[in-house]
Chain A
Amino acid sequence: MKKKYALFTGCMMSTEQYAYEISVRESLPILDVELVDIEGFSCCGEPMKSVNQLMTLYLSSRNIAIAEKNKLDIFAPCAMCHLALSECKHLLENNEELKDRINGMFAAEDLNYKGSIEILHTVDLLHDHIGLETIKKHVKKPLTGLKFATHYGCHLIRPSEIGRPENSENPTKMDEILKALGAETVNYYPEKLDCCGGILQINLPESALTKTGQKLKAIQEYGFSGLVDVCPWCHRMYDARQVKAGETVATKLEVPVFYLTQLLGLALGVKKEKLGLDLNLSPVDKLNLGEA
């Protein structure tokens, strides 16, 4: 049965991390997922948490209310958006008073938050809803001979108290998906749970880059074919800022960094140029990814 979701693109993916959006839109329909674009969304609110937590809650509940009005569950490929929306559901679930107050603020836009819909991310959509068996059936060009390190991203796996798509200390779903696509991964490497530093890019960019550089340096030393991520904030650090990150750890970094959906697309037989691979700034050409 075809699964239908409102695509919540968020700010980072839709304004600069286009490779993620392109590969999401290209590869998921092959697995019978229909992505619907609906009008009216704003920022998820997560980047505003340090400034004003009520604003975060307002923005996330507003976005959920819009999807509810359209009677659709939300697919949010960004780990940060996914956290904001999930946390909003968690906070308002048993707090009628807060829910009423938030709904009171929606008067101008004629919205009503109920909290009735599901919020999905790329990892649980692929692993839990579509399933590894279905993915395997659709693989046309297995990613044979490639061994990847996976980066889940802090916001995707914590805090588990509010319900996250993956285990907080030992996440493996992305590894399982990559194995279903024919690639190899290791379920554990010491830096697996290390943060990309992305949030600090807002106010302490030098330190943020050091975090990025430290993890990439380790991945390079272990000899992985590349790094795979599922968050536009993380990817921006590991891919677009890789050269600068290398400078902070005095290392020439040459780690190919991919979005999971780009590799998914390749394995499903989508042509290279349709997956935004020319937008990755890390040296993804190092790997033999087949004909263009």
Chain B
Amino acid sequence: MSIVDLTSMGEPQSQLRKEINDRLYKLKDEISDYCFQCAKCTSGCEAHKLLELEPHKMVALLKRGLIDEMVNSDIIWTCMSCFKCRERCPQKVAPVEILFALKNLAVASGKQIPGKYTAFLQSILSIGGIQDIQEITTRDNKTKRRSELGLPNISKPKDLTKFQAGLMKIAVEKV
């Protein structure tokens, strides 16, 4: 079975996009009002000092409905998903979850997926995991394979065609 890139499926994408959009509007209408901009999330944000991510501002933008603007911005891809904002928010707003939804929407809208995410996705579809077995180098520069280290075979989906069939449904299933 050839790899059908979930991100380039035409028809089902619009449904997926609608579902993520609904999820974001739900977050906007039901959650973002709780935020009183205390910026506790930003003060602890791992990506803040280094990459200028400001989670409290993302919540403020969501509250104003500026979803497209955020989806089109690279800043949503700077989150390290450390979950400190979700852990520490006194109002249980969880900016990290808003960022996940925004990134999901960016992908479903056909925006370019940054970095190795596409490779991971394709690898999961073809072998079940994000990467295949790597040859590694020891501290004294010897090359070693997994099989040489006395480790058993990796657990993998038994029937890849069936596994792929299940994954494919996600593109059309409601989120």
Contacts and interface: CB of A to CB of B under 8 A. Distances in A.
Judged by DSSP, the binding face of A is helix
Contacts, number: 190
Contact of B128 (A43, A276, A285): A43
A42 B77 contact: no
Interface stretch (B26-34, B35-43, B57-65, B112-120): B112-120
A163 to B, nearest CB: 13
A18 B104 CA distance: 32
A12 B100 CA distance: 22
A62 B166 contact: yes
Contacts of A43: 124, 128-130
Contact of A37 (B138, B149, B155): B155
Given A158-B87, A204-B78, A18 B50 contact: no
B81 A39 contact: no
Contacts of A203: 77, 114-117
B151 A42 contact: no
A198 B170 CA distance: 27
Contact of B50 (A41, A106, A210): A210
Residues of A in contact with B, size category: 35 or more
B18 interface: no
A284 B139 CA distance: 9
A204 B6 contact: no
Contacts of A48: 117, 120-121, 124
A18 B147 CA distance: 10
A33 interface: no
Interface string A84-126: 0000000000000000010001111100000000000000000
A40 B158 contact: yes
Interface in A12-68: 12, 14-16, 18, 21-22, 25, 37-43, 47-55, 58-59, 62
B80 A195 contact: yes
A279 B117 contact: no
Interface string A140-169: 000000000000001100111100000011
Given A15-B132, A195-B80, A55 B170 contact: yes
Contact of B117 (A40, A50, A54, A284): A50
Interface in B81-135: 81-84, 86-87, 94, 100-101, 103-104, 107-108, 113-117, 120-121, 124, 128-134
B159 interface: yes
Nearest to B171: A52
B66 interface: no
B136 A51 contact: no
Interface residues of B, number: 66
B116 A202 contact: yes
Contacts of A11: 129-131
A132 interface: no
Contacts of B154: 9, 14-15
A195 B46 contact: yes
12 contacts: A11-B130, A41-B157, A42-B128, A43-B124, A50-B81, A50-B107, A51-B120, A55-B167, A158-B83, A194-B46, A203-B77, A203-B116
Interface of A: 9-12, 14-16, 18, 21-22, 25, 37-43, 47-55, 58-59, 62, 101, 105-109, 154-155, 158-161, 168-169, 193-195, 197-200, 202-205, 207, 210-211, 276, 278-281, 284-285
Q: Across chains A and B, which 3 residue pairs bring their CB atoms closest together, nearest first?
A: A203-B115, A158-B83, A42-B128
Given A41-B128, A204-B77, A205-B115, 12 more contacts: A15-B134, A18-B144, A37-B152, A41-B157, A51-B7, A51-B113, A154-B46, A154-B81, A159-B83, A169-B87, A207-B78, A284-B139
Interface of B: 6-7, 16, 46-47, 50-51, 77-78, 80-84, 86-87, 94, 100-101, 103-104, 107-108, 113-117, 120-121, 124, 128-134, 136-140, 142, 144, 146, 149-152, 154-159, 162-163, 165-167, 169-170, 173-175
